[in-house]
């Protein structure tokens, strides 16, 4: 067992519990990650020592709370290498970030334009764009994929033209683990001055992200997938792109002046942060970023890559195993079915062995339709998993499948 992985497991209290009388084997990390003690402690400390509403307060607690959340913004800027701290907008999560852009763009999109997404998208990167198209008369275009779960890139590039309002794609497929060539797509889209939004919900946890190197116009991710709390996330946007958009919501915090005749809006980032923010969530996310950064994203990725290779080899020997998503470049996600076994039944029985996996269409129903299947079982690994987790999972699959056939 990798020593660094063994040490890391001790940082996550929930990994020591039992489920159905068995040691927990948590392999549902693509849905949400577990939290290290330092993140839990940071949230607890916030509420116990500095809890107050932020910005504009002249008392000590408000000033301390403001410092804490703005430090989280600085940490986030460094984490994804944004050019300016003002380009970091706090949201409720990836879905909220995507909806912010889709809603804010409404007045700028016209009938006759198009929006380009891909066949690998999560529902949260399909539905907001469908809604935008319904509001504006624009058409939705979809980048096709092959049987391995990879973009057919040349066909995808041909969908982008001078009438494209925006391209919105995920960096890594949550359902298959495919790592998409987003940098090539961005470069092509920029030839038409088309902005590109990257759904980074699955890439921020699994690799070092550099939005300047990608040249992404927008990039969204959620804290709960990077070992942080739920209900908080990030929308990165290039300054010039964000300044060109009207705000998504109105209320306190996002204003400069208000009268009954006219309201003027605050400067970035506050223009897009209406209302009292999730201060404890921001602090918790900052602690999660500190934790990941201290260990090094490249080192953590190496642990996950080793687990992916080990699990793929072990699972390949299981009778009736069918993998979905066999791209050349993959993150630590394995989506599979066992011949003659319904995925829901398999996942339910695996839980009796203490193994937590996800079953269903993984909020990617069009992708399941492409494969003509009702869904898959998805095992998704994090850096705090180990080879013993894989061995227990394989045994659980084999025993469960025997009972269900």
Domains of the chain: 3-30+296-404 (3.90.1150.10), 40-294 (3.40.640.10)
Report the predicted TM-score, pTM, of the whole model to 2 decimal places: 0.96
Q: Is the pLDDT of residue 17 over 80?
A: yes
In the three-class reduction of DSSP (H, G, I as helix; E, B as strand; rest coil), residue 118 is classed as: strand
In the three-class reduction of DSSP (H, G, I as helix; E, B as strand; rest coil), residue 333 is classed as: strand
pLDDT digits (tens, 9 = 90+) for 82-93: 999 999 999 999
Q: Is the pLDDT of residue 305 over 70?
A: yes
Among residues 148, 224, 212, 158, which one has the least CA distance to residue 180? 148
- The first and second tokens of residue 16, run together, are 């020591």
Tell me, what's the pLDDT at 263?
A: 86
- Tell me how far apart the alpha carbons of residues 204 and 202 are, in angstroms, rounded to a whole number: 6
Tell me, what's the pLDDT at 272?
A: 94
Alpha-carbon 319 to chain mean position: 33
Query: Alpha carbon of 191 to those of 108, 216, 300: distances in Å?
Result: 19, 13, 35
Lowest mean pLDDT among 39-43, 247-251, 347-351: 247-251
pLDDT digits (tens, 9 = 90+) for 258-273: 889 888 888 899 999 9
Which positions ≥6 away from 139 have C-beta within 8 Å?
Answer: 113, 114, 115, 133
Q: What radius of gyration do the chain's Cα atoms show? A: 22
Asked if residues 325 and 175 have their Cβ atoms less than 8 Å apart, the reply is yes
Asked if residues 205 and 29 have their Cβ atoms less than 8 Å apart, the reply is yes
Strand 255-258 to 263-265 pairing: antiparallel
Helix axes 94-104, 127-136, angle to 10 degrees: 10
Q: Is the pLDDT of residue 160 over 70?
A: yes
Q: Is the pLDDT of residue 1 over 60?
A: no
b/e sequence 353-390, b meaning 16+ C-beta within 10 Å = bbbbbbbbbbbbeebbebbeeebbbbbbbbbbbbeebb
Lowest mean pLDDT among 160-169, 219-228, 264-273, 285-294: 264-273
pLDDT digits (tens, 9 = 90+) for 176-222: 999 999 999 999 999 999 999 999 999 999 999 999 999 999 999 99
In the three-class reduction of DSSP (H, G, I as helix; E, B as strand; rest coil), residue 285 is classed as: helix
- What residues are paired with 234 via a beta bridge? 90, 221
Asked if residues 201 and 123 have their Cβ atoms less than 8 Å apart, the reply is no
Query: With pLDDT > 90 as the criterion, what percentage of the chain qualifies?
Result: 92
Among residues 204, 200, 171, which one has the least CA distance to residue 185? 171
pLDDT grade, residue 6 (50/70/90)? low
- Tell me how far apart the alpha carbons of residues 239 and 270 are, in angstroms, rounded to a whole number: 13
Burial class of residue 394, CB neighbours in 10 A (0-12, 13-18, 19+):
middle
Among residues 19, 49, 15, 51, which one has the least CA distance to residue 33? 15
- Tell me how far apart the alpha carbons of residues 18 and 130 are, in angstroms, rounded to a whole number: 43
- The first and second tokens of residue 166, run together, are 């925006």
Tell me, what's the pLDDT at 37?
A: 98
Tell me, what's the pLDDT at 5?
A: 53
What single-letter DSSP state applies at residue 50? Answer: I
What is the arithmetic mean of pLDDT over 15-21? Answer: 97
Query: With pLDDT > 70 as the criterion, what percentage of the chain qualifies?
Result: 99
Q: What is the four-CA torsion angle of 178, 181, 183, 188, rounded to 10 degrees? A: -140
Q: Is the pLDDT of residue 249 over 50?
A: yes
Asked if residues 254 and 236 have their Cβ atoms less than 8 Å apart, the reply is no
- Tell me how far apart the alpha carbons of residues 211 and 293 are, in angstroms, rounded to a whole number: 16
Give me the DSSP letters along 146-159. Answer: -TTS-B-HHHHHHT
Q: Is the pLDDT of residue 3 over 50?
A: no
Is residue 227 among the annotated active site residues? no
Among residues 174, 273, 193, which one has the least CA distance to residue 241? 193
In the three-class reduction of DSSP (H, G, I as helix; E, B as strand; rest coil), residue 79 is classed as: helix
What is the arithmetic mean of pLDDT over 367-381? Answer: 98
Active-site hit among 133, 220, 227, 363: 363
Average pLDDT of the residues of the chain: 96
Q: Is the pLDDT of residue 24 over 60?
A: yes
Alpha-carbon 171 to chain mean position: 9
Asked if residues 291 and 227 have their Cβ atoms less than 8 Å apart, the reply is yes
């Amino acid at each position: 067992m990798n020593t660094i992985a063994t040490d890391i497991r001790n940082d996550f209290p929930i990994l020591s519990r039992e489920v159905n009388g068995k040691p927990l084997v948590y392999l549902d990390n693509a849905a949400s990650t577990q939290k290290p003690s330092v993140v839990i402690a940071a949230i607890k400390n916030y509420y116990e020592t500095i809890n107050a509403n932020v910005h504009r307060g002249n008392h000590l607690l408000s000033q301390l709370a403001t410092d804490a959340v703005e430090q989280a913004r600085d940490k986030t800027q460094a984490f994804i290498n944004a050019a300016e701290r003002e380009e970091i907008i706090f949201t409720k999560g990836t879905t909220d970030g995507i909806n912010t852009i889709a809603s804010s763009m409404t007045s700028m999109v016209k009938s006759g334009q198009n929006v380009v997404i891909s066949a690998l998208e999560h529902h949260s990167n399909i539905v907001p764009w469908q809604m935008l198209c319904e509001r504006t008369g624009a058409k939705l275009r979809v980048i096709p994929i092959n049987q391995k779960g990879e973009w057919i890139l040349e066909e995808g590039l041909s969908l982008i033209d001078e009438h494209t309002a925006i391209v919105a794609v995920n960096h890594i497929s949550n359902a298959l683990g495919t790592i998409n060539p987003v940098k090539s797509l961005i470069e092509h889209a920029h030839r038409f001055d088309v902005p590109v939004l990257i759904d980074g919900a699955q890439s921020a946890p699994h690799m070092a992200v550099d939005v300047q190197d990608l040249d992404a116009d927008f990039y969204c991710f959620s804290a709960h997938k990077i070992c942080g709390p739920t209900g908080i996330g990030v929308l990165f946007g290039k300054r010039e792109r964000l300044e060109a958009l009207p705000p998504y919501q109105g209320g306190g915090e996002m204003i400069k002046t208000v009268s009954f005749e006219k309201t003027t809006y605050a400067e970035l980032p506050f223009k897009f942060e209406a209302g009292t923010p999730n201060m404890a969530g921001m602090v918790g996310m900052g602690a999660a970023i500190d934790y990941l950064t201290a260990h090094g994203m490249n080192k953590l990725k190496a642990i996950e890559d080793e687990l992916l290779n080990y699990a793929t080899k072990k699972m390949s020997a299981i009778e009736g195993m069918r993998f979905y998503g066999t791209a050349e470049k993959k993150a630590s996600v394995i989506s599979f079915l066992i011949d003659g076994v319904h995925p829901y039944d398999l996942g339910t029985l695996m839980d009796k062995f203490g193994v937590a996996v996800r079953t269903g269409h993984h909020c990617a129903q069009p992708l399941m339709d492409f494969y003509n299947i009702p869904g898959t079982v998805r095992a998704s690994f994090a850096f705090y998993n180990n080879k013993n987790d894989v061995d227990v999972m394989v045994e659980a699959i084999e025993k469960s499948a025997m009972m269900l056939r």
